[in-house]
Amino acid sequence: MKKWTIGLFSLTLILISSAQGGIVLGIRPSAKYGTNYIGLELSPRFSLYGGADLLQIDFREEYLGGQATASLFVPNLGFKLLLGEKELKEITPYFSLMLLKSFATLEIDDNSSLGDYLSEADEKVMEELLGFWGVSPAVGAEYPFSPKFSLGGEIGYRIFFAQGKLERARWGGYYLFSDPEINPPSNEAVIKMDMTRTYATACLNFRF
Q: Rounded to 5 degrees, what angle do the CA atoms 172, 176, 181 make?
A: 140
Look at residue 65 and tell me if it is in a domain.
yes
Q: What is the pLDDT of residues 99-122, one digit of tens each?
A: 999 998 877 766 655 556 666 666
Q: Rounded to 5 degrees, what angle do the CA atoms 131, 132, 135 make?
A: 145
Highest mean pLDDT among 42-56, 58-72, 136-150: 136-150
Look at residue 16 and tell me if it is in a domain.
no
Look at residue 1 and tell me if it is in a domain.
no
Q: What is the pLDDT of residues 80-96, one digit of tens each?
A: 999 988 888 899 999 99
Look at residue 116 and tell me if it is in a domain.
yes
CATH number of the domain where residue 115 is located: 2.40.160
pLDDT in the model for residue 188: 63
Number of domains in the chain: 1
Dihedral sign for Cα 198, 199, 200, 206, please. negative
pTM: 0.71
Look at residue 2 and tell me if it is in a domain.
no
| Cβ contact 144:86 at 8 Å | yes
- Residue whose C-alpha is closest to residue 145's, from 88, 183, 87: 88
The residues pairing with 154 across neighbouring beta strands, listed in sequence order, are 140, 201
User: Which residues span the domain enclosing 59?
Assistant: 21-207
12: enclosing H helix or E strand: helix 2-18
